Chain A
Amino acid sequence: MNFPSDLKYAKTHEWARTSSNEVTCGITEYAQKELSDVVYVELPKIGAGVKQGVPCCIVESVKAAFDIYAPVSGTITAVNSSLEAEPAKVNRDPYGEGWFFKIKPSSSDEFNRLMSAQEYEHVLSESAH
């Protein structure tokens, strides 16, 4: 499975990418495979405050619904509203077109403490046993 090395990861299977003081978030390839076909993403509202590790959005497959946890604390600055019409993007391109939302982080510490791709893969292999 593909876990790009330029991203950071949370153990709840979200990825985060930082650029110009904004953190873009989505779910990992592992998560999209576990979910199977994503049919709906309930996105947060722009301007909403989010806290690291607290659910801020829901993703649905036909038979399941999962909470998505904010990887860092801050304020939602943008959401990928194209997912409403085309939720399949999450399965097709989880690190690109399938992004969920952007956060203006309240500090940079939380982002830095997220896992690297290598650490995340390690966590996955641990939980497989």
Chain B
Amino acid sequence: MNYLPLTETDRQAMLCDIGVQCFEDLVRVIPSALRVKDLNLPGGTSELELARELAELSAQNQPPSRCLSFLGGGYYDHFIPSVIHHILSRSEFYTAYTPYQAEASQGTLQTVFEYQSMIAELTGMDVSNASNYDGASAAAEAVLLALRHTGRKKILCAQTLHPEYRQTIQTYCSGSHFKVVEIPYDSRGGLDKARLSAEIDSDTAGFIAGTPNFFGLAEDFSGIAQQLREAGALFILSVNPLSLGILKSPGEWGADIAVGEGQPLGIPMSYGGPGLGFFAVKRDLIRKIPGRLVGMTQDRNGKRCFALTLQAREQHIRREKAGSNICTNHALLALAASVYLSVMGREGLKKTAEYNVKSAVYLREHIRQIPGFEIVFGGTIFNEFVIRSTQKSSAEILKNLQNKNILGGLELARFYPELANCILVCATETKTKAELDRLVEALRSNQ
């Protein structure tokens, strides 16, 4: 086996040095009744054969190069600069571990420090952690932070937050007697502010919403932060980081915690994971933030350097008293996001964000004109919007599109039964005008 360096001679010599006859002598402690005879697995496969087999499996899937996709809903097809792949392929990055030994990990530590700085800038918050698993688990951890921080029992959650995030929050909260109350959307597809005001009370730990929301709409949160602050509750926003190239940041909205899915920042879709959960807070919550933090300090010779810090908050020290059990971060993907943001800079990010808005609005306005379709919610969008098919079922529409090698979008009834025959359509900077027109034509001929 070419991954195992020991030769048979080595093994014999080592057993001899240890002072045993055979390998079995080392593992006699395992009761014989528990020993496995032989695993019922296939034998090993050569690299050549396995590479061929994997290529065949991969070819049974349809990536965007083989079909025109307008799918969004939390994961997006974006342009990924070539640099990212090359830097992430440096095995000094990807085969290292959590930077416990600062002297042997300055590379990882500095990249995480830079990541924290960029996320804080992007979200308009003071402090970012070294990252969480994904947008959904980051949202759930933010909710737990609010519950812990306020000592209260109730969380308000916008119904337009990503349905899988809401489900994750529910699941995380199901262990203790926490109550998650959903705030519905109004006829415009935005947050029902009157319902929110009515639900805020002295037991409310916080309110979480997404923007752009699951219908693609950029929400107006004017006045919300103040209302929550007066009630002693925290304001949590889950945002698409790319939208922050032009849209108001959580900091500007007065949020206490900003979370979100970092996949749009240079991370391939990979069938939904691994992605990147980002997590940023205002300064007064710094000791409550879950996960790793990297700080700048000086070494014993006064040289600037980086180290993991505020570790006494964490599970390996506090054990059952820790605020979170998280001990990993998605460091490699945080690196991808850092490289992406370095490449884009403020200008590139803004241009990309504008590109998304313009493509999506162009598509929306052209679909609006097709008989048999209507735009369900108006308002400002980032890169996706909701259409309703008024003559045929959405399933039929999507099937017909798929026959033309187009993935037309996501059926919303799966998450919102009241939105029958509604489709969430997404257009990013990766779509050319000709491709947008192709979808429009296909929908037109569908009717």
Contacts and interface: CB of A to CB of B under 8 A. Distances in A.
A complexed with B: yes
Interface of A: 39-40, 42, 58, 60-65, 67
Contacts of A62: 311-312
B227 to A, nearest CB: 23
A113 B326 CA distance: 42
Nearest to B321: A65
Interface centre among A60, A61, A64 (most CB of B within 10 A): A60
Q: Which 8 pairs show the lowest CB-CB distances between chains A and B?
A: A60-B312, A65-B312, A65-B318, A65-B317, A64-B317, A64-B312, A40-B287, A61-B312
Interface string B369-382: 00000000000000
A60 B310 CA distance: 9
Interface of B: 287, 310-313, 317-318, 321
Nearest to B309: A62
Contacts, number: 22
Nearest to B307: A62
19 contacts: A39-B312, A40-B287, A40-B310, A40-B312, A60-B312, A60-B313, A61-B312, A62-B311, A62-B312, A63-B311, A63-B312, A63-B317, A64-B312, A64-B317, A65-B312, A65-B313, A65-B317, A65-B318, A67-B321
A67 B312 CA distance: 12
Nearest to A67: B321
Contacts of B317: 63-65
A60 B317 CA distance: 10
Contacts of B311: 62-63
Contacts of B310: 40
Contacts of A64: 312, 317
Contacts of B313: 60, 65
A121 to B, nearest CB: 29
A30 to B, nearest CB: 20
Nearest to A60: B312
Nearest to A61: B312
Given A40-B310, A60-B313, A63-B317, 13 more contacts: A58-B321, A60-B312, A61-B312, A62-B311, A62-B312, A63-B311, A63-B312, A64-B312, A64-B317, A65-B312, A65-B317, A65-B318, A67-B321
Contacts of A60: 312-313
Contacts of B287: 40, 42
A64 B310 CA distance: 10
A61 B313 CA distance: 10
Contacts of B318: 65
Contacts of A58: 321
A63 B312 CA distance: 6
A4 to B, nearest CB: 28
B148 to A, nearest CB: 12
Contacts of B312: 39-40, 60-65
A21 B313 CA distance: 35
Contacts of B321: 58, 65, 67
A64 B322 CA distance: 12
A39 B311 CA distance: 11
A65 B312 CA distance: 6
A40 B318 CA distance: 14
A62 B295 CA distance: 13
A8 B218 CA distance: 61
Contacts of A67: 321
A90 B130 CA distance: 30
Nearest to A42: B287
A62 B102 CA distance: 14
Nearest to B288: A42
A40 B313 CA distance: 10
Contacts of A42: 287
A57 to B, nearest CB: 12
B323 to A, nearest CB: 11
Interface centre among B310, B312, B317, B318 (most CB of A within 10 A): B312
A74 B378 CA distance: 58
Contacts of A65: 312-313, 317-318, 321
Nearest to A39: B312
Contacts of A61: 312
A62 B287 CA distance: 13
A65 B317 CA distance: 7
B43 to A, nearest CB: 47
A60 B47 CA distance: 51
A65 B322 CA distance: 10
A79 to B, nearest CB: 15
B59 to A, nearest CB: 52
B283 to A, nearest CB: 12
A67 B321 CA distance: 10
A62 B311 CA distance: 7
Nearest to B319: A65
